[in-house]
Structure 1
Amino acid sequence: MIRQRVIVHGRVQAVGFRYSARVEAQRLGVAGWIRNRSDGAVEAEIEGDAPSVDAMLSWFDEGPPGADVTSISTADLHPTGEQGFRITG
């Protein structure tokens, strides 16, 4: 299991990004959370097996229809064993 913090920049708020991310995370079996940041970015922590986390990172790089992702940054974290994927803000 691996865990990543992801910050997604661009037009990523008010386009259904968090809700679409939750659907994709559930489809991939990825745990974690996602929230809007006050600077207009979206921040998430995702956890799962390496192929699933990589697939979720690829999804973040594109986002849902209507989003315009300009960049993503990631950082490795220690896995927590978190279950489920939730929207926190």
Structure 2
Amino acid sequence: MSSDDGILETRLVRVRGQVQGIGYREACVRRARASAVTGWVRNRMDGSVEVMLQGSPEQLDDMCVWLDEGMSAALVEELEVTEVPPPFTRFDAFERLPTL
């Protein structure tokens, strides 16, 4: 894989730890939009946060680093990253979804 020559990847990330009730999703939305990453973020009933990311491999690597370490109020215990194989839905923006 070279640079982001049109390569589009999709990753589903589950973030576990102290990540609800601290503005984590809103910060995630701001960071993703600033990084031109599309997809969505939502709370899960088990206390985790689920994030669907779409962009170049480099953009997604940067977002995963941010999800793990980028918000000082969060205490991330585990980052579970799953590559979503094509074909996948193309996202136009990055949104916050209701809790699942």
State the TM-score, normalizing by the size of structure 2.
0.85
Matched, 1:80 2:72: no
Structure (1 or 2) with the greater helix fraction:
1
TM-score scaled by structure 1? 0.95
Alignment size in residue pairs: 89
**Of the candidates 48, 55, 67, which is equivalent to residue 55 of structure 2?**
48
* Aligned with 1:17 (options 20, 24, 28): 24
Provide runs of 4+ in structure 1 moved above 2 Å. Answer: none
CA-based RMSD of the aligned residues comes to 0.9
Distance 1:61 1:50 in 2: 17
User: 1:9 touches 1:72 (CA, 8 Å); kept in 2?
Assistant: yes
Higher Cα radius of gyration:
2
User: Whose strand fraction is larger, Structure 1's or Structure 2's?
Assistant: 1
Counterpart check, 1:30 vs 2:44: no
2:69 matches 1:62: yes
Unaligned runs of 5+ in 2: 1-7
Unaligned segments of structure 1, at least 5 residues: none
